Structure 1
Amino acid sequence: MSSEPLISASCDLLKVENGKAHHTDDYDTVSARLVVRRGQVFRLRVTFNRDTNFPTDDLKFELHMGRSPRTVHKSRIYLPDMDPRAGDQPSVGVKYSRINTGNSLVLEVFTSSDMGAGQWRLVMYHRRRTSRRRVMSVVAEDVVVLFNPWNKDDDVYMKNDEWRNEYVMNDTGRQYYGSARRIGGMDWYFGQFEKEVLDAVLHILDMGSLRYRDHNSAVAIARHFSALVNSNDDNGVLVGNWSGEYDDGTNPSDWVGSYAILKQYFEKKEPVQYGQCWVFAGVLCTALRAIGIPARCVTNFESAHDTDANLTIDYMYDKNDKSLDNDDSIWNFHVWNDVWMARPDLPKGFGGWQALDATPQEESSGVMRCGPMPLDAIKQGLIYHNYDGPFIYAEVNGTKRHWRRIADDKWEEILSEEGSVGKNMSTKRVGSDLREDITSQYKFAEGTPQEKLSFKIARKYVKFTKSERVASADAVKFEADVPDSVAIGEDIVASFKITSIDSVAREVYIGIVAKVMQYNGAIVSKLHDDSSNFTLAAGESKTIKATLKGSMYLPKTRSTNNSVKLFVLGGVKKPAGGVLQSFAFNDSVELDKPALSVSVASTRVKVGESVEVTVAFTNPFSQKLPAGKLRIEGSGIVGVLELSVPSIGAKAKFSKTITVVPKRFGTRMIIAGYASTVLNGVQGSVILNVST
């Protein structure tokens, strides 16, 4: 009989068996890493330095997280012995046969449905029955535990298998951009199963102030990721940049997925330059899905940024109706995330989808983060619930109000635009590449009694200082005829018709301003500024046109999501002075980019076989495009590639063929994006059906 301590010499992680049972077989991991989901048994085959000698050998097993695991911090979990012959038993522990059959055994590890997510070590303590001395050895150094949407006791449980396949397992998706009148879509590679992505997510999980005891909370981890995906406070993943100057980094429009970003972040351990809202949302969605929390990207069109938390988006003018600087703004679109989870920290009924945003806009408790906030609470106007209800409510349900200064610190409302914020809220439909409108999940239909009650409830919890406008009868009817979009480089022609509906002649004024704008409301350049004053007889109509040449705006539109926005403010004057009626229009004309063609000889391919992929693009301009680049990412196919593109002649075609080798079976997507200093955000994709 050996007196040598029993020590774990090696461990077969049974990755195929565990991966299939835990829905983690898509994770691309190093050989020593096992990825499992909490609340579900996993099995290991442990080989020791000598033959076992039960019952003389006494074994105890524990799971450890971090450098100094402690039970009080929930970073040390004792795994009591469970009778391998018994049925239902306590949910946490280990089972193994105590029949001596040599130097190995199969160990079954049972974890709880509220165990902390993250990186754990499985350790073993051995002592002989006749000794008090215990010897520790590591059984498995790298066991990654994820949330478990398949477990009904987990806070992220989803009972719908189609939803789980979409919001947890799908590693590609769609993001939406443009304007409420012209919605565009782009493919995005989440890449949550890539090795470097999981490495980066585990690194982020251990950064900042998240306590080990909070690793079991989907709410805490979602809020933590919301802060760490931006770099504002904790040296997180992405630097936000809306300046239009990206020479020392990557133009946000050039990214086609999260993989390249998270890979660079993990390798360099420094923030990646640069991101804007859809990039933040794409990376946050990747991190959430990688750790097992169901998530989706959501686009809100006409999205309000309410800086003073009064639920109104205020446009300020001087006594002569000249626009003043405004802190509030309306974004053409804004992309954030919804996450699916229970809310044990809130009253019953607020589980399900929660709004979460990593784009740095306003601080929440001193940190640049936002959410999670229950969609049901937003819809009902119950904005006092955690977290950041007033800001998110205003994004989807604020009211545009126009104010004229009548004294140094006194304002009068000249126009109110209700129902103009929070339109066509969009996400990818489950199991399809089509768009799903989810506006009704965030808000009641405009003008309904429920919507008015929601706003009334929400207003109880915010400040409001300006006096509201007293309604009066209109004297004119104002109509705008502005195209939703034009092909980039084409002229934009807009017309505005004012028709008298009064019985007397009226003095009318109108000002028309056109600007190249970033999608978040930041001004790039003014293109047009004109005003008119005229008398309109009873029943008379007058149409005013504005033409914006392509040559005027094209040099100003470096970013994918720049658009031309028209601002119109006009009114009817009172005979004795003052304004009888005001009218306004502000909306964007989107600039449509050409398509990028991505093609293969056959979409049915096999793992390990070479596939030729051809990317082609035609220059839409009557001028040469400068040299640019292609960025290609592919789900289980190419990882990430960057290729140089030479200059492309006027109206000429560029084509490039590459060879890729699929490494994972299933439905896989290759996404390509073209960018140069003149034109960027040109994207295309192809889907491959990969078999073994």
Structure 2
Amino acid sequence: MEATPQTAVFISGPTRGQRRLKLVNFEIQENHISHETQGLSDKHLVVRRGKPFKVTLLFYGRMWNPKSECLTLQVLLGEMSAKMLVHFSDKWSDPHSWSARIYPGNMGHGVVTIHVCAPVLSSVARYQLLVHIAGAHERSSYVAGTFVLLCNPWLKEDPVYMPLDAQRQEYVKSDYGVIYMGTDVNFSQRPWSFGQYEPGVLEACLQLLQVSPQHLSNSHKDYILRADPAYLSRIICAMVNSSDDMGLVEGRWKGNYKDGVKPTEWCGSADILHRWMASKGNPVRYGQCWVFASVLCTVMRVLGIPSRVVTVFNAAHDGDGNLITEEFYSSTGERLGLSKDSVWNFHVWVECWMRRSDIGAGFNGWQVVDPTPQEKSAGIYRCGPCPVVAIQRRCLDTPYDTAFVYASVDADVVRMIVRSGKVVGKKVDTKWVGRLIFTKSIGLDVPEDLTDSYKRKKKDQTHRVGDSVRRASRSVVPFPTEEVCRSSRSAMSRSSIEVCRLARSDVPCPTEEGASSLDVTLTVAGEPTVGKSINLTVTHTNPTNSTRLLREHLNAQLKEFNSSPGKSLWESHQDVCIQPFEDLTRHHSIPPSKYEPFLAGDDILKVAVIIKDLKTKERVLAIQEFNLSSPKINIQVEGGDSIQVKKEHTATVSYANELNKMLNGALLTVEGYGLLQGKQEARLTILHPDEKIEKKVTIMASTPGTKLLSASFSHSSSPSVVSRSFHKVSVTT
């Protein structure tokens, strides 16, 4: 990168022309290397607070005379101003004040190099720099230009300081991440390009701060508070979603996406930020949790706050704040939508690293910041920063939103079986929520398990389960009948849901450890793949010395990842006889013809089995949830996955039909932001079994960093079923 001197703009003083500041060189290349900001901008000087940066002044005419004239630098930010008297020294003064000095030997031949240092707790923003020269008979002032000041995780005194270089490389400088999705049974991973080095991304991140409600209502106060990373994360968290402001992304979780981009089609943040800037603040359509979180991670890294994207599998949304979630099932295993609580198969948020001076050193470290608009925090859709250690220690009053985040990873689930307006079976599951919590490992594309950092082992299960049972069983009114619940669940009002929640029942409530004399488990064989049969195994256990006649009900439903139950697509009802002390294994298969008509893409299947003892009327329930994988698309870059800037390379993308049927109207689409202009396609009228569709594309990157090639395959035989694959390409200079 070439240094870009700026012409100094003369703003005041005599016009005799005896001395004039001609150029100001911000020494961009040298400063960016020193401040670890290479690639963030080729237009602005970008530096980190608390660390000196160089500015070179070039005079023509008479040189500044340090013996008879004062040289002063002034920085402006809104209504705030700070002046620095430039002096000769090899020592820095107060680290909490702006300062400027000249090292011995840095002056001569009309040139003077000044080292400027911002306070370690400076506000993150774009500043203006002025130069003032005052003598006994002459005063002059110049506008030198602007520079951007960011947080400094390399500096120990900065609240975002991160001690290990490997961590800083991964959580600040890396422009590539992996998002974990699906279920804890068979999760998938999706690469994401954070894109902080793409042109215009830095400017978009700064613009988010400038159009926040806090800045628009009181810019002076906002500028002052921007020194605090907790404040910054809270502002940006709200601005990433568009629910309350001129935010980045509009969310949509079901229905039609034709007036925007389907959330599953995004693979990077830069495109979203560019679209938002081009639209002058109109939200980009559409996002879901992983999109919100990934964009937030990009902005935080740009601002200098170490951040990582985290996935919680089986994340509870505690709608009523009682730290439990309730689920209702029909007596034949169909999930009923009668609760405002939900358990998402996966939910994605961000952890940001910082010291929390507002609440004490005991809560330093990783903080949960969740931009997905679920619940309001202080009247705005945002969540956090919430210390991870506060969640683990169950300090639920800790700012911000700790109780809500705690329930997301550690709530109990109470599952109730409903028949004819009564609860006929009940079970508390203390381990379902927050089963796995993943983030990308440092330097590797494999998951790091964070579960233990959020959850302590539950020593007193009995007390915990008892509390959950009492909270879930409080009641004064009966359930509506199962038929009423089933027919009206999509339009049921909140008052009706509350009626359902408060059902009285004297049915025993066994826990995972089991107080029941019946036991059943449900497992899925292999990796369920679209177009192939889904194989299930049900194991019945009879721990008694009596032969028992059981009725087995299985039910399969599609569901949204955010827990909304769909229609039943397959059922099985059979009577089973099990001998004393016997373990009886039964196998079931769901053929593709049963589930394919219901698929909507990126689908999750929920299967429930309910066993009823025909003599004692006792019922037990087991469930299993898993995502349906799509056949893979093969992407290969000729010569390997590391390419050079501004050099053409060939990529081959192909899809092989591994199904035992013809696929009509086959379409293979290839995209690559920063690698390809627009979409490129290949089509076949019919794709026969074992036949392949292929597309060769020429890729070229204009900037270094990590880029992603994405490919999708669809066919008219099942138009809602779309396979997607992503491929990482490293671009070097």
Partner SS for 2:200:
helix
Deviation of 1:378 after TM superposition, in Å, equals: 0.6
TM-score scaled by structure 1? 0.87
Provide the residue aligned with 2:626 in structure 1: 588
Q: In angstroms, what is the RMSD of aligned CA positions?
A: 3.3
* In structure 1, C-alpha distance between the alignment counterparts of 2:141 and 2:277, rounded to whole Å: 32
Distance 1:93 1:588, change over 3 A: same
CA gap 1:105/1:157 in 2 versus in 1, 3 angstroms: same
How far off its partner does 1:509 sit? 4.1
The answer on 1:296 being equivalent to 2:308 is: yes
Residues 1:684 and 2:688 are matched in the alignment: no
Cα displacement (A) at 1:413: 7.3
- 1:656 counterpart letter in structure 2: K
What amino acid sits opposite 2:608 in the alignment?
F
The residue number in structure 1 matching 2:695 is 656
Distance in 2, matches of 1:360 and 1:278, equals 12
Task: Return the offset for 1:267.
Answer: 1.4
- Displacement, 1:598? 2.7
Aligned twin of 2:395: 382
Query: Counterpart of 1:95?
Result: 101
1:266 equivalent among 270, 277, 281: 277
Alignment of 1:248-647 (within 5 A): 248-269=259-280, 270-316=282-328, 323-403=336-416, 414-445=426-457, 447-448=458-459, 464=471, 466=473, 471=510, 473-483=515-525, 485-506=527-548, 508-532=550-574, 538-539=580-581, 546-560=588-602, 562-572=603-613, 575=616, 580-603=618-641, 605-621=643-659, 622-627=662-667, 629-634=669-674, 638=675, 641-647=678-684
Deviation per CA, 1:171-212, whole angstroms, max 9, x where unpaired?
111111121111211111111111221121111111223411
- Secondary structure at the aligned position of 1:307 is classed as coil
Q: 2: distance between equivalents of 1:125 and 1:303?
A: 57
Deviation digits for residues 246-270 of structure 1 (CA, Å, limit 9, x no counterpart): 1111111111111111111111121
Distance 1:238 1:626 in 2: 32
**Which of 232, 250, 256 pairs up with 1:221?**
232
Match of 2:125 in 1: 118
CA–CA distance in structure 2, aligned partners of residues 5 and 152 of structure 1 = 45
| TM alignment of 1:28-67, pairs within 5 A | 28-30=41-43, 33-48=44-59, 50-54=61-65, 55=67, 57-65=69-77
The Cα shift of 1:401 comes to: 0.5
Mark the CA change 1:357 to 1:593 in structure 2 (over 3 Å): closer, same or farther: farther
Aligned partners of 1:100 and 1:164: how far apart in 2? 36
Q: How far apart in 1 are the matches of 2:384 and 2:425?
A: 32
* Whole-angstrom CA distance in 2 between matches of 1:675 and 1:271: 28
Residues in 1 aligned to 2:21 and 2:243: alpha-carbon distance in whole angstroms = 44
Partner AA of 1:14 in structure 2: E
Instruction: Find the residue that maps to 2:628 and give its secondary structure.
Output: strand
CA deviation map 1:71-120 (0-9, x unaligned): xxxxx241322432342323321224899856543222111111011211
- Note the residue ranges of structure 2 that are not aligned, 5 or more in a row: 1-13, 215-221, 475-505
Q: 1:681 to 1:201 in 2, by over 3 A?
A: farther
TM-score normalised per structure 2: 0.83
Shift in Å at residue 382 of structure 1?
A: 0.8
Aligned-partner SS, 1:528: strand
The secondary structure found in structure 2 opposite 1:485 is: coil
**How far, CA to CA, are the matches of 2:132 and 2:453 in structure 1?**
52
Matched-pair contact (CA < 8 Å) for 1:219–1:372: yes
Q: In the aligned structure 2, how far is the partner of 1:218 from the partner of 1:645?
A: 47
Task: State the distance in 2 between where 1:386 and 1:609 align.
Answer: 50
Match of 2:38 among 25, 47, 53: 25
Equivalent residue of 2:528, what SS? strand
After superposition, the Cα gap between the structure-2 partners of 1:619 and 1:10, relative to the gap in structure 1 and judged at 3 Å, is: farther
- Within a 5 Å distance, the mapping from 1:132-171 to structure 2 comes to 136-141=141-146, 143-171=147-175
Q: Deviations over 1:49-73 (max 9, x none)?
A: 75334355444322222xxx22xxx
Overall identity of the aligned pairs, in %: 26
The aligned residue for residue 486 of structure 2 is none
CA distance 1:324–1:608, change in 2 (3 Å): closer
Task: Rate the CA distance shift 1:89–1:545 in 2: closer, same or farther, 3 A.
Answer: same
1:654–1:465 distance in 2 versus 1, CA, 3 Å: closer
What is the aligned length?
Answer: 664
Partner of residue 208 from structure 2, selected from 198, 204, 207: 204
Q: How far apart are the structure 2 equivalents of 1:100 and 1:582?
A: 84
Query: 2:483 matched to which residue of 1?
Result: none
The equivalent residue for 2:195 is: 191
Distance 2:58 2:676 in 1: 35
Q: Distance in 1 between matches of 2:729 and 2:192?
A: 13
Give yes or no for contact 1:626–1:678 (8 Å, CA) kept in 2.
no
Would you say 1:107 and 2:109 are equivalent positions? no
Cα distance in 2 between the residues matched to 1:203 and 1:689: 28
Residues 461-502 of structure 1: CA deviation (Å, up to 9, x unaligned): xx9464595558422221223235322111113232323222
Distance 2:107 2:728 in 1: 56
Residue 399 of structure 1, CA deviation: 1.1
Q: Does structure 1 retain, via aligned residues, the 8 Å contact 2:641–2:729? A: yes
CA distance in 2, matches of 1:639, 1:94: 46
Of the three residues 698, 712, 718, the one matched with 1:674 is 712
Partner amino acid for 1:629?
A: T
Paired AA for residue 673 in structure 2:
E
**Which deviates further from its counterpart, 436-445 or 587-596?**
587-596
Distance 1:159 1:94, change over 3 A: same
Against the structure 1 CA distance between its residues 625 and 543, is the aligned structure 2 distance closer, same or farther, given a 3 Å change threshold?
farther
Deviation string 1:557-605 (CA, Å, 9 cap, x unpaired) is 2332x12211233444674xxx545333242243243133132224565
C-alpha distance in 2, partners of 1:607/1:49?
39
Which shifted more, 308-317 or 289-298? 308-317
Mapped partners of 2:230, 2:462: distance in 1? 30
For 1:355 and 1:442, the matched residues in 2 are separated by: 11
Residue 118 of structure 2 aligns with an amino acid whose one-letter code is T
Amino acid at match of 1:297: V
Q: Is the 8 A contact 1:254 1:680 kept in 2?
A: no
Provide structure 1 residue ranges, at least 5 long, that are not aligned to the other structure.
Answer: 71-75
User: Aligned to 1:591, what secondary structure does the other structure show?
Assistant: coil
Q: CA deviation at 1:519?
A: 1.5
- Whole-Å Cα distance in 1 between the matches of residues 192 and 649 of structure 2? 21
**Would the alpha carbon gap of residues 588 and 318 (structure 1) be closer, same or farther in structure 2, given more than 3 Å must change?**
closer
Residue 272 of structure 1 and its aligned partner are, at CA, apart by 0.9
Shift of residue 125, structure 1, vs aligned partner: 3.5
Q: Does the 8 A contact of 1:15 with 1:34 survive in 2?
A: yes
- Counterparts of 2:544 and 2:632 in 1: how far apart (Å)? 47
Deviation at 1:682, TM superposition (A): 1.4
In the TM superposition, what is the alpha-carbon distance from 1:689 to its structure 2 partner? 6.4
CA distance in 1 between partners of 2:509 and 2:643 (Å): 67
Amino acid at match of 1:330: V
3-state SS, counterpart of residue 646 of structure 1 = strand
Distance 1:648 1:392, change over 3 A: farther
Amino acid at match of 1:674: S
What is the alpha-carbon distance in structure 2 between the residues aligned to residue 542 and residue 413 of structure 1? 22
What is aligned with 1:73?
A: none
